[in-house]
Structure 1
């Protein structure tokens, strides 16, 4: 059962210009956009990231809580640890569908059959450069597509055909490969921008083309990367073009510049385009932190959806408007389960002092705010850092004693 989420209008402050027909037209709002998470496989391909089986199981459980429709459990032939992770995830009976990943190789598919995987994404290269790199001819690609899909279907598996580097493939050949895959039994297809080289406008065009090639009964997935910083924009274009599923990862982790960040895509679709999504974004920060810790990396404090500083204000000019969130933020922090706060530093103003004094329950006459502010700024400049609450208390006490 699809769980649909759409932000309440009073929590979105993006402006009337987004309501214009040229922005809003073209989206099917009767259909909830769903997400296929590939953090455990494509996300782990980020350089230096190694998830344990326990990590993968924990992440999968939190992805299910986030409302992710499909979770790619992994590629068991990579290692015994990956096999163990797939086994545990399948055995957990999570509400999300659990999918496997395989190349168009019988042994890859058999590894999933042995574990009990019921749905599988099968990949093979279709661009000239990728086929050359693998030593494939076009005829060999056709044969492997037919054999792999037929083998999976013979074992009762649901199949998604995943043509690697689709966006750089010859369109006539790509069309033929989609049709070969569907005729072989694939029930779904992916449009794959393996190296993140497709402009959003081209994405929308290609999704529409693929829809005409495979027909209305075949769901279309979009899989994009962020090499030009356009992964979210490309995913939105894919939805407008008719994609049913968006593939991506938590925190946008992955090869090179990463994958589409599914939480960013979900937020943008709701807040900018009024499109319902299958994701409870109030859980996004929790799963983001879990994935970061497991992967041994951090994200920018200003990262959309999950950044620590999104709803924290240091600047005095902005802090003076803190009581009116819609004046300084495009959407309510409630949408992503975040708190709001004021911090103190070089850029702070009198409003910061007033708010922080009240927040900490300190007694400070208003005519002493300027002196406290001067000391706060001096401290921040000296340390090249924010002033902590404890440091602020000490400053207030020192000013009070001096007066």
Structure 2
């Protein structure tokens, strides 16, 4: 795996206030935070997204290059195409570990056994709402999870127990099911915020409780959704609470408001909290684009880490500071291998004109910049869009 935990402080411009002990205390920096990507399963649950087997394989390869510790290959019982995707991903022998997803149902586990999956995440509902929806009782939940985990273990599989809707479950019952899962042979556990309803402070509290129930030798995963726009914050709180694995997706895609965006979490952990992570963020934008194209959707141009306009400036006041990246950006574009640039539009100023003239190698005297700026503003305002470089060159040629 690729660890990118040594980003130079010279590339991070977040200010001294983040160095205060009340911000930095509580993190175990002796442990590297790793990522379990579920783009191919939970991410595909985004409405209208269907990844082909070829797309799933290409995405898995991209995730492997990104340095993701684990890739959830999918749920083979969904379709023949999903089965084919899992088979191809397993055969590729990526550096990333390949994990399967299963309900607490033996037939689900058997589908992975037949394909050669050696590690599986096993889910079952534990909140009162979810158990009622499925027609489960507390007793049947424990019986089902115990039988499923023992079945997987009997076939040599490593098991991560995944209690659905953990964050809305009764804590006494939740403690009971975690202990039952460990007794049945689960080597790892997840804490699951299925509907994204857990505040970051509550996440840290719950993770610490789970750690006390399962013991220090059992790795804890955090799986969070973004329904209140707090998925990244919740993941940070989970790490402070003791989680060493963060589950999520590329671009934060997924059902409803989506999952935690693993690249955003990785960036925040490193740049704001100096927590080592296992991910090469210089590959993030490439993988993001691959997933977007495969899924047939777009992300906001201003999206953290991967947005196409993160390091592009139109405002004249900001362009005037373009020569000093640390004056207008919180971290270097080099961290995520992005290009910085200036565009021309309604909000541009003389600094935009000067930079763009130099960039395009145009022969325009400085005393003509105001007239050129006026032309840019007039066209951008009239057309309700930016002025392209080609259009700008034509404007300059007419002066």
Do both proteins adopt the same fold according to a TM-score greater than 0.5, normalized to the shorter chain? yes
**Contact kept in structure 2, 1:4 and 1:32, CA below 8 Å:** no
Corresponding residue of 1:32: 32
Instruction: Give the drift of 1:5.
Output: 2.1
Q: Where does 1:291-306 land on structure 2 (aligned, <5 Å)? A: 291-306=291-306
CA distance in 2, matches of 1:61, 1:303: 23
Aligned residue for 1:122, secondary structure, equals strand
Instruction: Give the drift of 1:7.
Output: 1.4
* TM-score, length basis structure 2: 0.99
Structure 1 residues 85-143: Cα deviation after superposition (integer angstroms, max 9, x where no partner): 00000000000000000000000000000000000000000000000000001111011
Structure 1 residues 299-337: Cα deviation after superposition (integer angstroms, max 9, x where no partner): 000000000000000000000000000000000000001
- Give yes or no for the alignment of 1:133 onto 2:133: yes
**Contact kept in structure 1, 2:2 and 2:280, CA below 8 Å:** no
CA distance in 2, matches of 1:139, 1:207: 24
Corresponding residue of 2:48: 48
Instruction: Give the drift of 1:372.
Output: 0.2
Corresponding residue of 1:168: 168
User: Which ranges of structure 1 fall in alignment gaps of 5 or more residues?
Assistant: none
Corresponding residue of 2:122: 122
Instruction: Give the drift of 1:164.
Output: 0.1
Corresponding residue of 2:155: 155
Aligned residue for 1:189, secondary structure, equals strand
Runs of 4+ in 1 over 6 A off after TM superposition: none
**Contact kept in structure 2, 1:235 and 1:260, CA below 8 Å:** yes
Structure 1 residues 315-370: Cα deviation after superposition (integer angstroms, max 9, x where no partner): 00000000000000000000001010000000000000000000000011111000
How many residues are paired up? 399
Structure 1 residues 254-274: Cα deviation after superposition (integer angstroms, max 9, x where no partner): 000000000000000011001
**Contact kept in structure 2, 1:6 and 1:275, CA below 8 Å:** no
Instruction: Give the drift of 1:4.
Output: 4.6
CA distance in 1, matches of 2:61, 2:294: 14
CA distance in 2, matches of 1:97, 1:217: 20
Aligned residue for 2:159, secondary structure, equals strand
CA distance in 2, matches of 1:386, 1:282: 28
Q: Where does 1:80-229 land on structure 2 (aligned, <5 Å)? A: 80-229=80-229
| RMSD between aligned residues | 0.6
**Contact kept in structure 2, 1:90 and 1:98, CA below 8 Å:** yes
Corresponding residue of 2:274: 274
CA distance in 1, matches of 2:218, 2:31: 15
Instruction: Give the drift of 1:278.
Output: 0.3
Corresponding residue of 2:79: 79
Aligned residue for 1:77, secondary structure, equals coil
User: Which ranges of structure 2 fall in alignment gaps of 5 or more residues?
Assistant: none
**Contact kept in structure 2, 1:5 and 1:276, CA below 8 Å:** yes
Corresponding residue of 2:262: 262
Aligned residue for 2:362, secondary structure, equals coil
Aligned residue for 1:76, secondary structure, equals coil
